Amino acid sequence: MSGKGSADLPRDLVIITVEPGCQESIDLQWEMRRELDAMYNEITLDPPPLEQFRLPRAAFLIAWLDEMPIGCGAIAILDERTAHFKRVFVRPGFRGHGFGRRIMNALEAKAVELGYLILFLETADQQLEAIGMYSSMGYKRVACDGRVPCSEHSICFEKRL
């Protein structure tokens, strides 16, 4: 796979809602977790928690490029008005082509469909590309205020619809 800026990378991205326990979901979540473990010198042993994405008004989305799962994103419930975006991830070989932004747009559309008025997400301080993307998409930094389990690396964002 060619790297960033590759002219031969196809652009036919399809994003669909899936059952959170499907193999592609599990594989993407473990790949994301391994990357974060390396970044923050952690070791994750527990499997990805899936039940939060099976609740009413929750969803798990996978981005497919030429029938290959290349990224994902999920919606969990923070409160009645607030969607909590989680698991936003694009495989490293596919970054830099706007796929993360397209996953975020699909999550936002799904959140509107599910009746949310506020979008909330938590990322971490070493994920500079994610921070830049969220800021450029109109997300404003907010205090995490114990709304989600956080670490000293946590940075929270919110967007009002």
Tens-place pLDDT, residues 75-126: 999 999 999 999 999 999 999 999 999 999 999 999 999 999 999 999 999 9
Give the N- to C-terminal CA distance of the chain in Å, as an integer.
37
Residue 76 one-letter amino acid: A
Q: Is the pLDDT of residue 137 over 80?
A: yes
% residues pLDDT > 70 (the chain): 93
**Interval 15-31 mean pLDDT:** 97
The HSE-up count of residue 47 (CA atoms within 13 Å, CB side) is: 8
Whether residue 142 contacts residue 160, with contact meaning beta carbons closer than 8 Å, is answered with no
Looking at residue 9, its pLDDT comes to 55
| Closest to 91 (Cα-Cα) out of 69, 106, 74 | 69
Looking at residue 8, its pLDDT comes to 55
What topology is assigned to 13-160 in CATH?
Answer: Aminopeptidase (3.40.630)
- How would you write 39-85 as a 3-class SS string? HHCCCCCCCCCCHHHCCCCCEEEEEEECCEEEEEEEEEEEECCEEEE
Looking at residue 4, its pLDDT comes to 45
Query: Which residues make beta-bridge pairs with 85?
Result: 75, 121
| Closest to 59 (Cα-Cα) out of 46, 50, 47, 70 | 50
Q: Is the pLDDT of residue 49 over 70?
A: yes
Helices (H), the chain: 23-40, 99-113, 128-136
pTM: 0.91
Looking at residue 12, its pLDDT comes to 87
Average pLDDT, the chain: 92
